[in-house]
Amino acid sequence: MHLRNSWQVVLPENNQSGGFGLYIHWPFCQSKCPYCDFNSHVSASIDQSRWLASYINEIKHLGRETPSRILDTVFFGGGTPSLMRPEIVAGIMETIRATWRVSNSFEVTLEANPTSVEAGRFQGYRDAGVNRVSIGIQALNDNDLHALGRLHSVSEARKALDTAHHIFDRVSFDLIYARQGQTLADWQAELTQAVQMASGHISLYQLTIEEGTAFGDRYARGKLPGLPPDDDAADMYFATQDICAAAGLPAYEISNHASPGNESRHNLIYWNYADYGGIGPGAHGRLSLNGSRYATETYIQPGKWLEQVENHGKGESLRNKLSSGDQGAEYLMMGLRIDQGISLSRYQSLTGDRIKSTIINDLTDIGVVRVAGDRLAATPKGRPVLNSIIRELLPDPT
């Protein structure tokens, strides 16, 4: 097991020692991708100044609850945050810096789509305080981009990526594999191109068909032909691990690959089960307050969230105190996604119970987990069957 940088060396013994992050959800897109099940909406008119005022209100509210915390990361997600005007991002960042002290390695990520108009805003985002950008490229051929409902071309994607590399020190981009009609050889060739374009981080997701999406509806009607069989998709997953590792971009999480030091610090806060606040429609959070840990949710519909903030002072719709069992289950589900895995002693401190050694030994014997000192982690063989591993490790509900 290799501890690659200070963010991975942190092995939090409680929910606050692993860092503190802020997720800000921008819910609007130019169009709805057919595979997307995120909380995103298409709107002909957006009063961005009104949204800025509501984000500022929510940041200040969260700051009053967490006044002593040092903020490590901010993540603008969506939706398509690169539809925000740079001055809106600047206003949000100004409020954030006035609300919390920030760490010396403060990371501010913004998700972007690679249209030429949005790429032209990159300098404005950098001036506003963004120091990392994540670009949703998704495919490196135009036919597949069209099938995925993307509005950009491969040429635009390459130009946006080149622009980002000249402006930001840290750049990531996403691709989707196991697409319609895609073969293993197709994906190997495409990924070989992609790792040559990468500058330290790349996210690679297998296409999943979710209920409630356009793809989900088509699939249910038998109108989504050419999806690779499960065995072929599994071959693509293992090829992904080999190609990325050979390119110096090993998997530090199931779908995320990075060179040493380029891991997403914000996402490591999630996976290390540390604290983060969620602001914006449909955003979730996990907060440790007054000795308890809470799950928070916000109103999902953009109009409802905005109305609640403006008229009632907050957009939070739910705050649920998590039981020790809930925390243990969440820690397993999040922590086993990363190559370090979980701390067995921290699991015990969260739940008051140990994971049965007989279960760990059985899973070790079949090669799907490994134990090194206090750390329990999934092996490369175990990662594709992680859900089954977690079910085995969780205590019986009885």
CATH number of the domain that residue 257 is part of: 3.80.30.20
For residue 58, give the nearest of 277, 274, 382 by alpha carbon: 277
Q: Do 200 and 258 touch, CB atoms closer than 8 A? A: yes
Q: Which of 203, 235, 270 is the last residue of a domain?
A: 270
Residue 292 lies in a domain: no
Count of CA atoms in the C-beta half-sphere (13 A) of 294? 15
Q: What is the pTM of this model?
A: 0.92
- Whether residue 257 sits in one domain with residue 137: yes
Kindly report the backbone phi and psi dihedral angles of residue 17, in degrees, each rounded to the nearest multiple of 5, phi listed first: -80, -10
Kindly report, residue by residue over 181-218, the tens digit of the pLDDT: 999 999 999 999 999 999 999 999 999 888 888 788 88
- Whether residue 339 sits in one domain with residue 266: no
Count of CA atoms in the C-beta half-sphere (13 A) of 396? 3
Residue 279 lies in a domain: no
Kindly report, residue by residue over 254-307, the tens digit of the pLDDT: 999 999 999 999 999 999 999 999 999 999 999 999 999 999 999 999 999 999
Residue 308 lies in a domain: no
- With a cut of 50, say whether residue 344 has pLDDT above it: yes
Residue 163 lies in a domain: yes
- Whether residue 331 sits in one domain with residue 238: no
- Parent domain of 28: 6-270
Residue 328 lies in a domain: yes
Residue 283 lies in a domain: no
Token pair belonging to 291: 């000795």
Count of CA atoms in the C-beta half-sphere (13 A) of 120? 3
How many C-beta neighbours within 10 Å does residue 231 have?
A: 8
For residue 313, give the nearest of 3, 118, 62 by alpha carbon: 62
| Bridge partners, 316 (sequence order) | 298
Q: Which of 226, 244, 270 is the last residue of a domain?
A: 270
- Whether residue 64 sits in one domain with residue 189: yes
Give the separation between CA 100 and CA 96, rounded to whole angstroms: 6
Q: Mean pLDDT lowest for which of 92-96, 105-109, 373-377, 393-397?
A: 393-397
Q: Which of 242, 270, 298 is the last residue of a domain?
A: 270
Residue 161 lies in a domain: yes
- Whether residue 345 sits in one domain with residue 224: no
Give the separation between CA 363 and CA 370, rounded to whole angstroms: 8
- Whether residue 260 sits in one domain with residue 354: no
Distant-in-sequence, close-in-space partners of 20: CB < 8 Å, separation ≥ 6: 66, 69, 70, 71, 72, 100, 269, 274, 275, 276
DSSP-derived secondary structure letter, 82: G
Whole-number percent of the chain with pLDDT over 70: 93
For the domain that residue 364 is a member of, what is the CATH number?
1.10.10.920
Bridge-based pairing state of the strands 132-138 and 101-112: parallel
Q: Mean pLDDT lowest for which of 4-8, 118-122, 165-169?
A: 4-8
Q: Report the number of distinct structural domains present in the chain.
A: 2
DSSP-derived secondary structure letter, 338: B
For residue 76, give the nearest of 94, 93, 51 by alpha carbon: 93
